[in-house]
């Protein structure tokens, strides 16, 4: 785990809130001149702390009105089955996040689709094709009560 000083934490917070800041804007916000600010950002990138930059796309604006959370339980946990399950989850574009769990269920998949009919088709063609699948339990989200938030850097 990397160690951070207050300026690094401030840089990370600012970039998580707006990854499109210019180096000058970022430097002004964190109280540095541009050159040392750029060196710190490059160090955070080179060390893997900053893994990349993305745009946050509004689901509703692109017609993806349905968010489903599918909890998957497997019958077998052999390395071959786990590898196949994870490859399948990564291959389905509508699965936007997937987590290996501890507890009663084995995986949690966040799925975004345009309709319940599309989710049903995805369930029939993709999710039920997962090897050694025992059960799928789906919960649908009505609203986002807390959107993607910056990580609380220690």
Decide: residue 49, CB within 10 A, 0-12 exposed, 13-18 middle, 19+ buried: middle
Q: What is the pLDDT of residues 50-61, one digit of tens each?
A: 999 999 999 999
Q: What is the pLDDT of residues 58-79, one digit of tens each?
A: 999 999 999 999 999 999 999 9
C-alpha distances out from residue 49 to 8, 14, 15, 34, 91, Å: 10, 14, 12, 20, 26
Q: Is residue 115 one of the residues assigned to a domain?
A: yes
C-alpha–C-alpha distance, residues 125 and 68, integer Å: 16
For 66-129, strand residue ranges (E) read 66-74, 95-100, 107-113
C-alpha–C-alpha distance, residues 63 and 55, integer Å: 17
CATH of the domain at 118: 3.30.70.920
What range does the domain containing 18 cover? 6-46
Once rounded to an integer, what is the mean pLDDT over residues 133-153?
94
Count the domains in the chain.
Answer: 2
Query: Is residue 17 domain-shared with residue 69, that is, in the same domain?
Result: no
Asked if pLDDT for residue 4 goes beyond 90, the answer is no
Q: Is residue 130 one of the residues assigned to a domain?
A: yes
Query: Is residue 18 domain-shared with residue 73, that is, in the same domain?
Result: no
pLDDT > 90 fraction of the chain, expressed in percent and rounded: 92
Query: Is residue 130 domain-shared with residue 99, that is, in the same domain?
Result: yes
Query: Is residue 24 domain-shared with residue 66, that is, in the same domain?
Result: no
Assign 137 to helix, strand or coil: strand
Q: Is residue 52 one of the residues assigned to a domain?
A: no
Average pLDDT, the chain: 95
Asked if pLDDT for residue 2 goes beyond 90, the answer is no
C-alpha–C-alpha distance, residues 98 and 89, integer Å: 7
Query: Is residue 67 domain-shared with residue 117, that is, in the same domain?
Result: yes
Asked if pLDDT for residue 154 goes beyond 90, the answer is no
Which pLDDT band holds residue 131 (cuts at 50, 70, 90)? confident
Query: Is residue 94 domain-shared with residue 41, that is, in the same domain?
Result: no
Task: Considering only residues 131 and 136, tell me which one the structure prediction assigns the higher pLDDT.
Answer: 136
Asked if pLDDT for residue 1 goes beyond 90, the answer is no
Q: What is the pLDDT of residues 105-130, one digit of tens each?
A: 999 999 999 999 999 999 999 999 99
C-alpha–C-alpha distance, residues 102 and 33, integer Å: 46
Q: Is residue 151 one of the residues assigned to a domain?
A: no
Decide: residue 125, CB within 10 A, 0-12 exposed, 13-18 middle, 19+ buried: exposed
pLDDT value of position 59 = 94
Q: Is residue 148 one of the residues assigned to a domain?
A: no
Query: Is residue 118 domain-shared with residue 71, that is, in the same domain?
Result: yes
């Amino acid at each position: 785990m990397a160690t951070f000083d207050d300026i690094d934490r401030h840089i990370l917070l600012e970039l998580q809130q707006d990854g499109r800041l210019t180096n000058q804007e970022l430097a002004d916000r964190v109280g540095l001149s541009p050159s040392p600010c750029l060196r710190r950002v490059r160090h955070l990138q080179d060390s893997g702390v900053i893994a990349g930059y993305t745009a946050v796309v509004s689901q509703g604006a692109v017609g993806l009105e349905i968010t489903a959370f599918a909890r998957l339980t497997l019958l077998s946990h052999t390395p071959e089955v786990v590898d196949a399950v994870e490859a399948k989850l990564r291959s389905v574009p509508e699965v936007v996040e997937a987590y290996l769990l501890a507890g009663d269920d084995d995986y949690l998949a966040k799925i975004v689709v345009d309709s319940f009919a599309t989710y049903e088709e995805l369930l029939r063609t993709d999710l039920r094709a997962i090897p050694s699948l025992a059960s799928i339990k789906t919960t649908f989200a009505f609203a986002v009560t807390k959107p993607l938030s910056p990580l609380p850097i220690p």
